[in-house]
Structure 1
Amino acid sequence: ACGFWFTEAEGICEYRFPVSFGCMTGIGPGRRSASKCKFQPFFIGIAGGTASGKSTVCQLIIHALGDQRVALLSLDDFYRDLTEEERENVIDHNFDDPSAFDVPCVLNVLDTLKFCSPVKTPVYDFCHHRRDPEKQTDVKPADVVILEGILVLHIPEIVQRLNMKLFVDTDDDVRLARRIRRDTVERGRDVESVITQYVRFVKPAFEKYVLPSKLNADVIIPWSGENAVAVDLIAQHIRSKLSEKDLRRIYSNLHVMPSTMQTRGMHTKIRCKTTSRSDFVFYVDRLLRLVVEMALGHLPFEETTVVTPVGENYVGVDFAPKLCGVSIIRSGEAMENALRTCCMGVKIGKILIQRHEESSTLAFEKLPHDIAERHVLLMDPILATGNSAVSAIEVLTKHRKVPESKILFLTLIAAPEGIHKVCSKFPQLKIITSEIDDGLGPVGEVRPGVGNFGDRYFGTTGSGEEGLIVLDSRNSD
């Protein structure tokens, strides 16, 4: 699990980085292209036991984000209609089981809102145990979409669509008291039936489904009526994400180098079609070194103390040991000099991926024998479709057992399509890039891009990668 853990009594908050911030699935290409949405909404899921205070937390977050458009959805509205037989024996029906919900309807609503289209949601009638045929709720596109419900963090398809996951942790006795008050006042039930249902279904379901889903949370909020510190920190985090006007809003493992007039000038040089090869190589090398330096800042460091020439102690940091680079042949080799300049004596391996029309396969690999113990800087200057990158990452993680969290993918320019593929498939890996381009052209080229990077950098006229034969894999120290 990862995220914040707030302790009300001590006023302490511990932060654990979320694994993952989101998944780009569920909508076909036609619907995506028809979207007029410039920035996708930020999806928040709030789970917790029955009557734990989820709705209160939602309202406080909405209030804290007063200047943002927020859409609030309740999983309770997505209960499926009971059959005639189930209605006749409603006392024996388990409303806390995942099968009680219309999950496809939930996913359709989330996916529709993701592409900034309005949608209608059902209204569930708890007295007649069916959806009200005459009522629907109109939900308009919003900057933030909040979905609250007991099983929000249990259903995998929902969890995959969330950018932030919260769990409201409340004492069992407090929840039972709130449940009795709510169901008797708002849902027309008597106390005995509420307690019977709680003992037969609610408590077992909480222990089986809800409590284990706590491990999926980014933020766990102890709740006894209020926790202003937690709500304030959550609101600040959401605001920081909304201020990011690119894919970093939904992928916490994506890092883009800060843009300055200097870096913009260098990008202008390498993107210009009339730039000479010598100038192209010169400015590319400068940018690549900046990308490598930024990536090194994401590696673990160890505190160390040194003595200065005047005899004073200086407390600083040192690189963690066991680092290596891996270049994806051929273009990735252009990044090797930048890495060697920054890290003297660093070991560098190579991976060659054979590209086909719809897939990529390993053609050759030569990697350090102890690479599973190292932090790996995987290098490819252009991230286009992401197919080659995914294949190379799978070589490292599946064949060589490198932990995903120890891989940093370094690229000069990235297309959104490649970012979606890599970040969603490998949420613990980090991508470091200098710029995100608009997208891919009809034949998979990055637009606006730099053209054929390998040809421009190495001075060739062909890709140099066509007609490759598969070589035997070798290992190297």
Structure 2
Amino acid sequence: MGPDSINLLQTSTRVHFSGLHLNGLEGRDSKIGQPTTSTENAPRQPFIIGVAGGASSGKTTVCNMIIDQLHDQRVALVNQESFYYDLTDDEMSLVHEYNFDHPDAFDTENLLFCLENLKSGKVIDIPNYDFRAHKSILPSRKVNPADVIILEGILVFHDHRLRDLMNMKIFVDTDADLRLSRRIRRDTLEKGRDIKAVLDQYSKFVKPAFDDFILPTKKYADIIIPRGGDNHVAIDLIVQHIHTKLGQHQLCKIYPNLNVIHSTFQIRGMHTIIRDAQTSKHDFIFYSDRLIRLVVEQGLGHLPFKEKQVVTPTGSVYTGVDFCKRLCGISVIRSGESMENALRACCKGIKIGKILIHREGDNANISKLA
């Protein structure tokens, strides 16, 4: 078993329950002087979050709370409102008849273009939309690549191409009366509109658009947050999940059923020894066995257990765990045989079967012998 085979000993399988997808990364060949894991130096893929919900539901508050708690990560916020189409002179003359809550009001193609470039690690220019003039004005806002990209807007789940870019989809679910009261306060104070115009727009465009276009996208959400920014428990869980995903090894993003043992100085030290051409055969075997045992012990931790109570020598009851089923090992000859001793050392009396896989001629027929 050569040094390249030992690199695989850092991994063990586990069950992956998350419904969130992580896009794969392109691998590259290992070279001398570079890490042996082909994706270790690959560009880090950003974690893209979509935050949808009705107007004034608290989406911005939720985004700001997530950003505040991700203070140790680079975060880029992209607002769908920045991508409104500029209104023509004819549309401006009838601005009160224009439906800003309809999917056709947004330049989705430009939004997609910007997101894909940002995901690829490029600096993008976000339009600076003036809500009084209803046009994009200069200067545009430059956004740098980030570890986390948050896309916020009422209809960010409407287009499947936007949804396909997202690793997490959040829908902020807030009572309609509360959304209306917030909208009245915002539009009168920030946009200079009178209450009658706000209510007319709400009944004519905002509410029907919510029922027809926004609410149906709720089914695409991975997480639904009632009460918006007031739901601190939900925000904490989301941030914790983001931290977990960002901390994953790149191989786990390619193979979702893979678990990679966290690298420590001890593990790196053993890898250094077995990769050293000057290492003796005795030391190579010794440190390889140590690494193999770590993998076996890690793998056992992912097997199903059930609760079991035992009585200790002092007479107290201890609640522990036991394997749900009897264990056996399957050794794939030849490399698998090098792991048998570690498995026997961890599981007393375990039975081990053998599988031999060989190729017959050039026709690639595979035979298996148990």
TM-score (norm 1): 0.55
Equivalenced residues, count: 337
Which residue in 2 is equivalent to 1:405? none
2:322 aligns to what?
318
In structure 2, list runs of 5 or more residues that go unmatched.
Answer: 1-15, 29-40
Do the aligned residues in 2 keep the contact of 1:39 with 1:245 (CA within 8 Å)? no
AA partner of residue 167 (structure 1): F
From 283, 287, 300, the counterpart of 2:287: 283
- 1:199-210 mapped onto 2 (5 Å cutoff): 199-209=207-217
Residues 341 and 85 from structure 1, CA distance in 2 versus in 1: closer, same or farther, beyond 3 angstroms?
Answer: farther
Structure-2 separation of matches of 1:124 and 1:466: 67
CA displacement 1:399-450 (0-9 Å, x = unmatched): xxxxxxxxxxxxxxxxxxxxxxxxxxxxxxxxxxxxxxxxxxxxxxxxxxxx
Note if 1:198 corresponds to 2:206.
Answer: yes
Separation of aligned partners in 2, 1:273 and 1:90? 76
164 and 331 in structure 1: CA distance in 2 versus 1, 3 angstrom threshold: farther
Q: Which residue number in structure 2 is paired with residue 132 of structure 1?
A: 136
* In structure 1, distance between residues paired with 2:203 and 2:116: 37
Secondary structure of 2:225's match? strand
CA separation in 1, counterparts of 2:353 and 2:54?
Answer: 50
Give 3-state SS (helix, strand or coil) of 1:321's partner.
Answer: coil
Q: Structure 1: which amino acid aligns with 2:364?
A: I
Do the aligned partners of 1:270 and 1:283 also contact (CA within 8 Å) in 2? yes
In structure 1, C-alpha distance between the alignment counterparts of 2:354 and 2:84, rounded to whole Å:
53
Indicate yes or no: 2:50 matched with 1:45: yes
SS where residue 77 of structure 1 aligns? helix
* SS, match of residue 306 in structure 2: strand
Instruction: Quote how far apart the aligned CAs of 1:158 are.
Output: 3.8
Choose which of 174, 179, 182 in structure 1 pairs with 2:183: 179
Pairing 1:213–2:220 present: yes
What is the root-mean-square deviation in Å for CA atoms of aligned residues?
A: 4.6
Label 1:200 to 1:38 Cα distance change in 2 as closer, same or farther (>3 A): closer
Give the number of the structure whose alpha-carbon radius of gyration is greater: 2
**CA displacement at 1:138 relative to structure 2:** 1.0
Q: How is 1:267-306 mapped onto 2 (pairs within 5 angstroms)?
A: 267-275=271-279, 279-306=283-310
The separation in 1 between residues aligned to 2:242 and 2:320, in whole angstroms, is: 33
Matches within 5 A, 1:427-442: none
Check whether the contact 1:72–1:145 (CA below 8 A) recurs between aligned residues.
yes
Aligned 1:137-148 pairs, distance under 5 A: 137-148=141-152
CA spacing shift, 1:349–1:57, aligned 2, 3 Å = farther
In structure 1, distance between residues paired with 2:111 and 2:361 = 46
Distance 2:337 2:298 in 1: 19
Show the 5 A alignment for 1:162-177: 162-177=166-181
Q: Which has the higher contact order (CA 8 A, sep 6+)?
A: 2
Shift of 1:319: 1.9
Structure 1 residue 185 displacement after superposition: 5.4
The sequence identity of aligned pairs, in percent, is 47
Matched, 1:78 2:83: yes
1:32-55 CA distance string (max 9 Å, x none): xxxx99655443332223221011
Structure 2 letter corresponding to 1:212: K
Q: Are the structure 2 counterparts of residues 196 and 138 from structure 1 closer, same or farther at C-alpha, using a change threshold of 3 Å?
A: same
Give the TM-score, by structure 2 length: 0.69
* 1:106 matches 2:111: yes
Answer yes or no: is 1:247 the counterpart of 2:250: yes
Give the letter aligned to residue 43 of structure 1: I
Look up the match of 2:38.
Answer: none
